[in-house]
């Protein structure tokens, strides 16, 4: 099911999105009509719309489109909001200044999923701070990782700093039990931001060189679809299937109340 500006989306409506692949989005997990970090998701949509289209997205109108699309939906569901301009001309993308709001629903899996393994690649995302829809590079590296026997990809800057996963933020735990978020160009994920707002465990943001990874005692992935997911291997470095700090993060995240739509 998909709605564009509050009305059922047609194939013609979606043609521009499919052919030009220019826009931005956010993905949310709805549980019984509430969404953790809803305000952060709306902040992201407004902020990214300025970066991608140079215009101000109507926050309340966008929220009304989301509410309409999920009306009557019970239980758990994935909600994706994509902002794009159906009138975009590839020859004149600078003229695209009338973004539309596409809301679609999809099933949501159990949380958290099983531990994952990841392979590192030297790669920097374009406009890393924007959740844009240009996913080809990430998915290509995810495919390469899977063909090599791993579940996903982790990106490393040319200077050796570890940054983020294919479509998720990456965190580590050091020997003192401190959560370390890599200081590198990354998407400010809403799950990461919510976790960073917790009083415990102790957290910091610092550069993590690829050479530092063997000195970590645990690693994890975060986004709205997976919550706090254990990373059990990064290249040939093995991590425990679970760790007390990860369990504490998981419990604390589950206790964060959702915002009512």
Calculate what percentage of the chain has a pLDDT beyond 70: 100
Per-residue pLDDT, 16: 85
Per-residue pLDDT, 41: 98
Same domain, residue pair 14 and 128 = no
Q: pLDDT tens digits for 237-251? A: 999 998 999 999 999
Same domain, residue pair 136 and 234 = yes
Per-residue pLDDT, 101: 98
- The CATH number given to whatever domain includes residue 223 is 3.20.10.10
Residue that is last in its domain, among 51, 75, 106: 106
Per-residue pLDDT, 110: 81
Q: pLDDT tens digits for 105-158? A: 999 988 889 999 999 999 999 999 999 999 999 999 999 999 999 999 999 999
Please give the full DSSP string across the chain, using - where no structure is assigned.
-EEETTEEPPHHHHHHHHHH---EEEEEEEETTEETTHHHHHHHHHHHHHHHHSS---HHHHHHHHHHHHTT--SEEEEEEEEE-TT--TT-GGG----EEEEEEE----SSPPPEEEEEEE---TTTTS-BS--HHHHHHHHHHHHTT-SEEEEE-TTSBEEEESSSEEEEE-TTS-EEEE-SS----HHHHHHHT-SSS-EEEE--BGGGGGG-SEEEEEETTTEEEEEEEETTEE--S--HHHHHHHHHHHTSPPEE-
Same domain, residue pair 123 and 242 = yes
Would 77 be classed as within a structural domain? Answer: yes
pTM above 0.75, yes or no: yes
Q: Which residues of the chain have pLDDT under 70?
A: none
- The CATH number given to whatever domain includes residue 27 is 3.30.470.10
Per-residue pLDDT, 78: 96
Residue that is last in its domain, among 48, 78, 106: 106
Expressed as residue numbers, the domain containing 214 is 116-256
Per-residue pLDDT, 163: 98
Per-residue pLDDT, 7: 95
């Amino acid at each position: 099911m998909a709605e564009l500006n509050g009305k059922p989306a047609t194939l013609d409506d979606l043609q521009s999105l499919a052919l030009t692949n220019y826009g931005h989005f956010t993905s949310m997990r709805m549980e019984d009509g509430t969404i953790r970090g809803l305000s952060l998701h709306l902040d992201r949509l407004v902020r990214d719309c300025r970066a991608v289209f140079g215009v101000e997205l109507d926050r309340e109108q966008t929220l009304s489109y989301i509410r309409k699309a999920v009306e009557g939906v019970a239980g758990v569901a994935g909600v994706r909001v994509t902002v794009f301009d159906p009138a975009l001309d590839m020859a004149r993308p600078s003229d695209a200044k009338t973004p539309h709001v596409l809301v679609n629903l999809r099933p949501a899996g159990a949380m958290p999923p099983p531990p994952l393994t990841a392979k590192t690649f030297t790669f920097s995302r374009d406009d890393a701070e924007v959740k844009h829809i240009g996913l080809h590079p990430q998915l290509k590296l995810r495919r390469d990782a899977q063909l090599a026997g791993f579940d996903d990809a982790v990106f490393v800057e040319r200077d050796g700093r570890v940054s983020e996963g294919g479509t998720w933020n990456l965190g580590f735990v050091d020997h003192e039990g401190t959560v370390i978020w890599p200081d590198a160009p990354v998407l400010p994920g809403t799950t990461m931001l919510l976790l960073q707002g917790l009083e415990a465990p102790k957290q910091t943001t610092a550069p993590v060189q690829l050479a530092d990874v063997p000195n970590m005692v645990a690693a994890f992935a975060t986004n709205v679809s997976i919550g706090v997911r254990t990373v059990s291997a990064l290249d040939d470095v093995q991590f425990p299937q679970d760790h007390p700090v990860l369990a504490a993060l998981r419990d604390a995240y589950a206790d964060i109340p959702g915002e009512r739509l």
